[in-house]
Amino acid sequence: MLELVATQPTKVYEKPSFDANILITVPKSAQILQISTIGEWIKVIYKDKSGYMYKNDVKILAMHIEPSKIINFADQYLYYPYQKEAEPLQDSRFDSSSFVQWVFSHIGVDLPRTSHLQSIEGKLVQPQNLKTGDLVFFSDPKSMGQITQAGIYNEEGSFITVTERNGVCYQNLHTGYWDEHFVKAKRILVSE
């Protein structure tokens, strides 16, 4: 189940159509649970009412899933090659953000294509509170603090990412380059 937040005041409809009866209007920043998707519509629960919202009116806060499932899926791609600005949603070559997007798409989470935009999704997590499945973000020295790298945290400081030298690989968050260039972490997955 996805935990969503309304990006603006949003109507919940009885059916997946703008012509259907309006059940309730959800205020901006309200939290909603997603049950399923139907094209551009999502079936939601808000204040014990079940109905449909237009997909573009909400963004993901968190998804309820066992985090080890996403790591197990990601591990299948270890050592796949790096490609700068890799095409989205394909499984042969990756940059870090296309890899994160690809992996999360397989559990039903539509993340943006770039690391910077991915870093806006989810809930902020302090480094000492990282859990398996959290996203970690980094900047490089040339980017003047802008996020340029993404990865998926595993455990004990390790995370899976894509580097130019190693392709899909594990790195340690607490050593050298990664420790120096860490910007923030976000939680998309919430274990049940």
**CA 178 to each of CA 22, 166, 174: distance values in angstroms, whole numbers, following the listed order:** 49, 15, 7
Nearest Cα residue to 65 out of 12, 109, 124: 109
- Split at pLDDT 50, 70, 90, the class of 192 is very low
Q: Indicate whether this model's pTM tops 0.75.
A: no
**Rounded to 5°, angle at Cα 120 from 48 and 116:** 155
- Split at pLDDT 50, 70, 90, the class of 138 is very high
- Reply yes or no on whether the pLDDT at 15 is more than 50: yes
| pLDDT value, residue 133 | 93
- Reply yes or no on whether the pLDDT at 47 is more than 90: no
What are 60-73's pLDDT values in tens digits? 666 667 788 889 99
Going along the chain from its start, the domains and CATH numbers come out as 2-62 (2.30.30.40), 65-190 (3.90.1720.10)
> How many whole angstroms separate alpha carbon 91 and alpha carbon 77?
8
- Reply yes or no on whether the pLDDT at 16 is more than 90: yes
87 compared with 161, residue with greater pLDDT: 161
User: Within 13 Å and on the Cβ side, how many CA atoms surround 183?
Assistant: 21
Phi, psi dihedrals of residue 42, rounded to the nearest 5°: -125, 135
User: Chain centroid to CA 121: how far?
Assistant: 6
- Reply yes or no on whether the pLDDT at 134 is more than 90: yes
- Reply yes or no on whether the pLDDT at 1 is more than 90: no
Residue 66 per-residue DSSP state: -
Share the mean pLDDT of the chain: 88
